[in-house]
Amino acid sequence: MATAAIGRVFIETLGESAPAEVLIRGWVYRLRILGKTAFLILRDCTGEAQCVLTSEALKTHRLKSEDVVEVRGTVRTEPRAKAGFEVAVADLRVLNRAAANLPFLASHGIESVGLETLLQYRPLALRTEAVGDIFRVQAALLAEFRAGLGRRHFTEIVTSKIVESGTEGGTSLFAIDYFDRVAYLAQSPQFYKEHGVAGFERVFETGHVYRAEPHASSRHLTEYYSLDLELAFIEGPEEVIELERELLTEMFEGLNARLGRTLLKHRAAPLPSLLRVPCWEFGECLERLRKAFGRGDLAEDLDPEGERQLCELARQASGVAAVFVLGFPLAARPFYTAPRGSAGAAASFDLLFEGIEITTGGQRLHHRDDLESALRARSIDPRGFERHLAMFDLGMPPHGGLAIGLERLTCQVLGLPNVRQAVLYPRDRYRLAP
């Protein structure tokens, strides 16, 4: 009678298998020889396992760090092992060999490895705990964003990233050849979100957006991942702000519960609740900056230093280094932004979190006539936006929304100094590869 084949198991389940024969696969993380006994630390996507074999077998297989192997053996209890068990190797098969001279090893510290090297050898970097944790946290943020909106009756939509014109006019666009005419990479899904609220009332989208801005800073990318939402039947931007307070608080609570130990490698304390984060008017912010820091140079917008200073003032006021800034000058915001009062302010806000802006949002104009007037006020011919404006003839409710940059949010959650660290393959003014 034939013996049933053993199927591969993940390392995280090995403790449930002792004593039993198992088949595991992964990368050689670390090797150690003690006399006639050798220890192989094998790592897969779920964890690490100590495997025991003879030193002679180790030499026969010519194993080294980062080789890809398959191990068949018996799980047995071993209190001295980190996990409380180990695998006695009965058979080992090399599935693929890593090069002999790698730029770094996953088991070694990468503090001295430059960012350019980590980006050039991304798969190897992802096997390190330090880099791998960044993207595990990022994936959790994305999952929590989806889950939080799903609980609030939002429908996820997927829209095109090839468009015929810009959302915010003709600047900062990447032009592409589109058969017999010019098209552009989308700088925002804003128009599609607005169409979405006219059909579903509440929509969200996660996806790449593109900005042809010649920045060369630690906080800007030409391609980044945006978490966008839009909701209808609001009375003002305060409702969007309150939604974000609740949503980010839930997202942070989820991360604290799922990845609390990982977060505390990077942060002095768990992620905070944002339910009591203050909302300050733009003019009030300028006055606070003037009184606290002698800043009299800001008028139309905030600079990076001003964002950091406001977060410090918010920390002193509420205990959390975050603040919503509402009522920016209308002229500095996109044409579809609704006005706030009659003094030239916009019903638009930014969320500053731990020193940097991570969100822009607000209330939008929802009458076609108002949109056409706003375009003309900026010397833009409304006929160039006719396909979009026509959607406002179908019954467009009052609405608003926001956009969060996922990479920036990841950086702030983990305290990373450069946004490129939170992108698998960054695209900026100079980088197109790998």
Structure confidence by residue, pLDDT tens digits, 327-366: 999 998 999 999 999 889 999 999 999 999 999 999 999 9
Q: What integer pLDDT is reported at residue 171 of this predicted model?
A: 60
Which residue ranges of the chain lie beneath pLDDT 50?
1-2
- Both tokens of 10, joined, read 């993940």
Site of tokens 């990373």:
416
Q: Report the amino acid identity of residue 304.
A: P
Whole-structure pTM value: 0.93
Spatial separation of the C-alpha atoms in residues 383 and 199, rounded to whole Å: 24
Neighbouring C-beta atoms of residue 77, cutoff 10 Å: 11
The domains of the chain, with CATH numbers, are 11-96 (2.40.50.140), 129-422 (3.30.930.10)
Q: Report the amino acid identity of residue 332.
A: A
Q: What integer pLDDT is reported at residue 93 of this predicted model?
A: 96
Query: Quick one: which of 146, 228, 179, 203 has its CA closest to 403?
Result: 228
pLDDT tens digits, one per residue of 143-157: 999 999 999 999 999
- Both tokens of 427, joined, read 């695209």
Q: Which residues contact 166 (CB under 8 A, 6 or more apart)?
A: 172, 173, 184, 187
Peptide bond preceding 329 in cis form (omega within 30 of 0): no
Question: If you write DSSP's letter for every residue of 363-426 in order, what string do you get?
Answer: EB--SHHHHHHHHHHTT--GGGGHHHHGGGGTTPPPEEEEEEEHHHHHHHHHT-S-GGGG-SS-
Q: What integer pLDDT is reported at residue 80 of this predicted model?
A: 83
